Chains A and B, each alone.
Chain A
């Protein structure tokens, strides 16, 4: 990129310093969490460290009065996976429709934006009261699922819109001119080209759902999701087990992300050379 070739001014160093300072700022609390999760057995949630141990990691798997995290964790992972799948599918389909354009597409676009900006507490209260008024029981797989969708779908749809807006329609036309059916076009042209975007949608969907608290707060029903359990425990347990959970869930997320990127990388590798129509990701 030619801009990069310009003389490195003081401003360049200023920006570099800002960027790395920001990274430091981003990682600060996480580093504290990581360090404090190795707090000694008599230590608390804040500094100073009273020795070092892996006691609190063991504590997570030996539930006594801090509650059992394993089930909420499992629920959150399952919910996040369902949300990921739904968000990908729904956003992809909506993306196809938006691309063609249809009557009322502006209305739908604004609806999606409204869903993005709707205050989390309104969604949570509203879904909760809707279930109450229908005399139904909200649960993490029903009410909370819906609440999460209102949050992940806008991101999914907006990303798909961005992807499709850079998608060169001529690629598709070419495929059709060569006699491909719609199904074939979709399978062999559209999906492969939009795949990086779809993976992005999936990652967004998973992360936003996995860590969602405010929208879930009124609608999780009988059983807590992990963020709810964590908030509940932050209120009652004053032990570094909390940080140990934080550290472990972070490592878990990194594994998930790592695996997704790796698989994406492998897919891309296999397809190398078939880079058609996509301008820039």
Chain B
């Protein structure tokens, strides 16, 4: 074994990268090529037929629906992003700077992670008994007299979808922020204070700039998760919200593989542009 290993060592880098290369070639690049090809095929209303037509793209870029879907998706993503960033920052800050013992830090962090071992689908469905007209929240609100009529916007609405996103995705912001904050040298903060900086000045001029990479990584997680999801939209919006991913999923549902290919490829490009922009602003890799 050891001898073999020395031999392998000569080509080590190539060999070490091979499994990753094969996996991504087979299951990322391969499918994207297939999708690219399919996006030029024709759908005759019932069957997807090999062809070369740009009809799918023409439809994609001229349909008012595409714009509506993207506007709705971007609005939801923006709200989710702002909420998870603010929440994630406060939580990470609390864990890093307010909780003193390492054991307590770990324990509390673990507590944040535990809910993720529950099925995501069931976690989403479990919101329904919470938010419904006769759900927990409405019962409480009505019994303490805050409202006479049940609040309907809680369920089958954009609100419900955003709530479930914040519920699931905040941790994807907390983890990288926790990571970067933990690396901030306390001496820096001390120095700033010694120079007379106030609490908010330290936050604004020392901590937040140093947290940029964490925010960047968290943003990549949160945005790509939000823009790809269609399950929460389907289960919690009562199909009252039209996002891009839901539209794609509906097009697959009506067996229009050509148009859904074009549509999902465009979504990938939009995501790549957003993430490319983020990575241009912050050198994520350097900060890992």
Contact = CB atoms under 8 A, between A and B. Distances in A.
Q: Would A and B touch once assembled, by the CB under 8 A criterion? A: yes
Interface in B238-267: 245, 248-249, 252, 257, 260-261, 264-265, 267
A6 B2 CA distance: 54
B281 interface: no
A183 B6 contact: yes
Interface in A1-30: 1-4, 6, 9, 11-12, 15-16, 18-19, 22-23, 25-30
Nearest to B124: A29
Interface stretch (A52-60, A238-246, A269-277): A238-246
B117 A253 contact: yes
B196 interface: no
B204 interface: no
B17 A126 contact: no
Interface string B52-85: 0000000000000000000000000000000000
A122 B128 contact: no
Interface residues of A, number: 93
Interface in B116-135: 116-123, 125-130, 132, 134-135
Interface in A117-133: 117-123, 125-127, 129-130, 133
Contact of B35 (A28, A126, A157): A126
A30 B24 contact: no
Contact of B34 (A112, A129, A161): A129
Given A18-B94, A94-B16, A150-B24, A3 B189 contact: yes
B197 interface: no
A181 interface: yes
Contact of B252 (A146, A218, A245): A218
B97 A1 contact: yes
A153 interface: yes
A211 B119 contact: yes
Q: Is the interface of A mostly helix, strand, loop or mixed?
A: helix
A199 interface: no
Given A2-B186, A125-B260, A94 B20 contact: yes
B133 to A, nearest CB: 10
Nearest to B121: A230
Nearest to A2: B186
B31 A113 contact: no
A157 B288 CA distance: 11
Contact of A249 (B21, B118, B170, B229): B118
Given A118-B271, A182-B6, A243-B122, 6 more contacts: A1-B97, A11-B199, A90-B20, A97-B12, A125-B261, A126-B34
**Ordered nearest first, which 6 A-B pairs have the shortest CB separation?**
A126-B31, A253-B117, A146-B27, A29-B126, A246-B122, A117-B224
6 contacts: A3-B190, A15-B98, A86-B23, A150-B27, A214-B229, A253-B117
